[in-house]
Amino acid sequence: FNLLRMADLDIPSLVQSALLPLVPFLLGPSTLPTLLSPPSVPSIASIIDHTVLSPLASSSDVSRACADASAHGFASVCIPPFYVPLASSLMSGTNGRVCTVVSFPNGYCSTRTKAHEASCLVSDGADEVDMVCNVPLLRRVASAPTGEDVDLWCEDVLAVCEAAGEAGVKCIIEAGALTDFEVATASLLFREARHRSAARGCKPPEFIKTSTGFNGYGGATVKDVSIMAFCVRESGGKVKASGGVGSGEQARRIVEAGAERIGASKGVKIV
């Protein structure tokens, strides 16, 4: 699997260096993940979250995105929270899901606020919620981990999972703003949150997601997806690549790196 050693980056060694400082604070696996082959994807269209998250998005834009998602067999349409009831109505009777965002795009909201937002959005008809994680807290864990901070980061995720019920939860880490070491740390924390969900009695977070596509930090890269997939796939977690994927060739390379969902505003062009 050549992606494990790319651009002079040895991903297993990177992940091992991120894992060791976390071990004293983990309740779940504390060993290096086992390498799994890239996932089998039935079709690119079936894993695309067709995205309309512009702050200027109109109801017409959302309606068009829902029509495109239905026509092309996209996994979901990802739209602003305000439009969840509209999208839920338009996607009813189709195989497409309604995805929206929580604490977007900065992730600064308190855990309690994120959980309340998720609960309201699921009640409005959302099938999936993409939450922005607490990035400053993540970076603090990466630089000097403590049990308290690891617990706080996992609680931020699990409170949303609990509030979302059976809806799928994706965790956005804003990988473009992070170092490789921090991406690995975030992915290992996601793996830990998945483990803790069993004791919490809630559905585990399903996807770790690269980016919001906002804030100028850049989008998904093959390197980030490779690191994330190596860390989480053994635990049953998946990777969503979002931001900057605008062609079929880019989508193919991202999938080969381990992504099992793609967030893109250019879904029609990609397929």
Q: Which of 130, 156, 180, 224 is catalytic?
A: 130
Q: How far apart are CA 114 and CA 119, in angstroms?
A: 9
Q: Would you tell me how many other CB atoms lie within 10 Å of the CB of residue 247?
A: 12
Q: How far apart are CA 115 and CA 159, in angstroms?
A: 6
The yes-or-no answer on residue 238 being catalytic is no
Q: Which of 114, 170, 209, 238 is catalytic?
A: 209
- The DSSP string of 81-133 is GGGHHHHHHHHTTSS-EEEEEESTTT--S-HHHHHHHHHHHHHHT-SEEEEEP
**For the chain, percent helix, then strand, then coil, each to nearest 5?**
50, 15, 35
The yes-or-no answer on residue 266 being catalytic is no
Number of H helices, E strands in the chain: 10, 10
Amino acid code (one letter) for 77: V
| Rounded CA Rg of the chain | 17
Q: Which residues of 175-189 are buried (b: 16+ CB within 10 A; e: fewer)?
A: bbbbebebbbbbbbb
Q: How far apart are CA 43 and CA 45, in angstroms?
A: 5
The yes-or-no answer on residue 240 being catalytic is yes
Active site residues: 130, 209, 240
